[in-house]
Amino acid sequence: MRVQGVRGATTVSRNDRTEILAATEELLHKLIELNGIRAEDLVSALFSVTADLNAEFPAVAARAPGIAWTEVALLNAVEIDVPGSLRRCIRVLLHWNTAKTQGEVRHAFLHGARSLRPLWAIDLPGDPPREA
């Protein structure tokens, strides 16, 4: 087994606690689904948000009953506020003990964050079409 990084990102429409938690939970569920991640195999998770999101820590969603990463080391941070960068964005980097190679790991960029990594973008119902 080795440690692999699993990346994901999503966006919310406003700085709202409920929306931040729901979007983070959706993102984590998608990463779990795509990779078969089990809590006991996670080393840690680093969450970051853009400076315009401060209504809740995204890591709170990872501790909630739907995910229940109660033994995983979690950390929240604020992204560098680069002018012109994507706003209202939640990112995560998971450190995962797995036999999978880097090429086998599936990353997930949802909603407005699809523009950050088009090759890792996942279209969900209700998303507008991506630009070509």
pLDDT digits (tens, 9 = 90+) for 44-100: 999 999 999 999 999 999 999 989 999 999 999 999 999 999 999 999 999 999 999
What pLDDT score was predicted for residue 132? 57
pLDDT above 80: residue 131 = no
For 83, other C-beta atoms within 10 Å of its C-beta total: 4
Domains of the chain plus CATH, in order, are 2-120 (3.30.1330.40)
Per the listing, tokens 């406003």 go with: 14
| pLDDT tens digits, 99-121 | 999 999 999 999 999 999 998 98
DSSP string across 30-94: HHHHHHT--GGGEEEEEEEE-TT--SS-THHHHHSTTT--TTSEEEEEE----TTPPSSEEEEEE
Position 129 scores a pLDDT of: 81
For residue 24, give the DSSP letter.
H
Predicted TM-score of the model (pTM): 0.94
Give residue 124's pLDDT.
Answer: 87
- Given this model, what pLDDT does residue 64 score? 93
The Cα 81–Cα 22 span in angstroms is: 23
d(CA 123, CA 108): 10
